[in-house]
Amino acid sequence: MAYQIRKAAVLGSGVMGSGIAAHLANIGIPVVLLDIVPRELSKKEQAKGLTLEDKVVRNRLATGSIQKLLKQKPAPLTAKKNLQLITPGNLEDDLEKLQDVDWIIEVIVENLDVKKSLYEKIDKVRKEGTIVSSNTSGISINAMVEGRSEDFGKHFLGTHFFNPPRYLKLLEIIPAKTTAPEVLEFMSTFGEDQLGKGVVLAKDTPNFIANRIGTYGLLVTLREMMARGYSIGEVDSVTGPLIGRPKSATFRTLDVVGLDTFMHVAKNVYDQTSGEEQKVFDAPAFMKKMVENGWLGAKSGQGFFLKK
Ligand code: NAD
């Protein structure tokens, strides 16, 4: 079978989903961008007498997210007209929109059970031959595909973009045991030639390559900071512009990634290691507290820094 990506679907319109959708639109690929319905009305919606069933409310998440794409500076969309290539929708009742796409990329919350329950639904509606991938930061690709149909298994793999997707060149591609060699080859070439990425093939080990090293480095840095009393400003200075990185490799990065997502990613390795190796992946208690407080980073307006 000759593969081609004429249209794609991005499931999840958070930090990464909206960025990936923008990247696809920037290279001329139409995208359906779906996310879950809001579970409660905002004050404004209540005042207008709307209900959760109203269409304007049901599309709030996805629509809100693409509007944000235009406002972000530097804008992830290279031209305003590219926004027309992104069609927002609702993950719960617009799944039939997946029937005419060639590639579905799942970019929802980093949780195996939540992702698996979405794949079960996708398996029922996707047409045979549609490529499905996950943007997971490090959950097992083989665990994700368990229980799925043979055709789904052949067309499933990990495509791990880095944040922000428009600027960061790395794309880790992780095949499952079931992935057909021609699908792996096609996606690797597509990643390099059309997405403009540097593709690295990774094995299905916890957090693959980049996040295994990256999470380790960040957590060791946090421990050293606490043990030696370094300040956030000091650490960010010596891991940032002063040594040639555009921002900081530590706290500003954590804010951009999202503290909740980082905690899931650290826990993924923690749960699959033991002894001395495991200790490093136990994120410090103060970060758990920050997440409980809703200080998730740039996406919630406050993390280690207040969003300007
Ligand atoms: P995010 O929190 O910004 O967005 C997650 C989105 O998933 C939300 O919009 C949420 O509404 C949606 N969602 C859909 N169905 C859901 C459900 N049933 N339960 C909960 N949420 C649901 O997260 P993100 O940073 O965009 O991460 C998404 C994926 O990409 C994760 O797998 C993450 O590990 C991975 N990733 C993140 C980064 C990063 O820097 N943030 C980098 C690479 C990969």
Per-residue pLDDT of the chain (308 residues; tens, 9 = 90+): 799 999 999 999 999 999 999 999 999 999 999 999 777 888 888 999 998 888 778 778 788 888 888 887 777 888 989 999 999 999 988 999 999 999 999 999 999 999 999 999 999 999 999 999 999 999 999 999 999 999 999 999 999 999 999 889 999 999 999 999 999 999 999 999 999 999 999 999 999 999 999 999 999 999 999 999 999 989 998 988 888 887 777 999 999 999 999 999 999 999 999 999 999 999 999 999 999 999 999 989 999 999 87
Mutational pocket test of ligand 1: of 94, 137, 261, the residue with most ligand atoms within 8 Å of the beta carbon:
261
CA of 15 to the centre of ligand 1 (A): 7
Alpha carbon distances (Å) from 175 to 98, 171, 194, 201, 214: 22, 13, 19, 8, 21
Q: Is 160 exposed, middle or buried (0-12, 13-18, 19+ CB in 10 A)?
A: buried
Among the atoms of ligand 1, which is closest to the Cα of residue 13? Answer: 9
| pLDDT computed for residue 291 by the predictor | 96
Full-model pTM: 0.94
- Locate 77 and state its tokens: 């969309």
Handedness of CA 116, 118, 123, 129 (dihedral sign): negative
For ligand 1, whether the C-beta of 17 sits within 6 Å is yes
For ligand 1, whether the C-beta of 13 sits within 6 Å is yes
Which residue segments constitute the domains of the chain, with CATH numbers given?
A: 8-201 (3.40.50.720), 210-300 (1.10.1040.10)
For ligand 1, whether the C-beta of 178 sits within 6 Å is no
